[in-house]
Structure 1
Amino acid sequence: MRISSLNDMYKRLQEYNTSLQQYNSKLQSELAAANETLKGVEREKAVIVEEISRLRGQYNSLQDQLASFKVVYEVKGCFFAYMDYTLVSRASQEETAKQKEALANEMGSLRTELQKARDDSDRQLLQVVVLMEEVAKYEDYTGRSASQLDCLTMKSTELEVKCSPRDELVRALQTSDLSATEMRNQFEEQNILICDLQNRLADAEQRLIEGEKLRKKLHNAILELKGNIRVFCRVRPLLPDEGSNGDSKSKDKNTPYMFDKVFMPDASQEDVFLEVSQLVQSALDGYKVCIFAYGRTGSGKTFTMMGSPGNSENNGLVPRSLEQIFETRQSLQSQGWKYELQVSMLEIYNETIYDLLSTNKSSSTENNSSGKQYTIKHDAQGNTHVSDLTIVDVRSSKEVSYLLEKAAQSR
Structure 2
Amino acid sequence: MAGQAVSAIPEAASAFQQAAKVTATRFWSHYLRSIMAPLFKSVGAYTESEQESHLQFMDEHIATNLGPLPNDPHSPYVVPAAIVGAPFDPSINLTSFGSGKVRFDYTVVEPIERPKEDPFSENLAREMLHKLASVVGADTRWMDSLMSSLYLSPAETDALLASMPPQLLCPPACIGMDFDGPKRTLKAYIPGIRKALATGQSSAELVLEAIRGLKPLGSELAPAADLLAEYLANCKHDIILLLAGIDCIDPTRHKNARVKCYLHSKANSFSVVRDVMTLGGRLNDEASLKRVDILRSIWPLLLNEPEDTKQIDDDWSKPERIKEKLYTGIRYTVEMTPGKKIPETKLYMPVFQYTETTDITEKNFENTLKKLNIEWGHNGKYGEVMEAVFGKEKDYTQIFSSFSYTAGKGAYTTSYFAKPIRQ
TM-score w.r.t. the length of structure 2 is: 0.19
Which protein has the bigger strand share?
Answer: 2
Which protein has the bigger helix share?
Answer: 1
TM-score w.r.t. the length of structure 1 is: 0.20
Relative contact order (C-alpha < 8 Å, sep 6+): which is higher? 2
Q: Whose Rg is larger?
A: 1
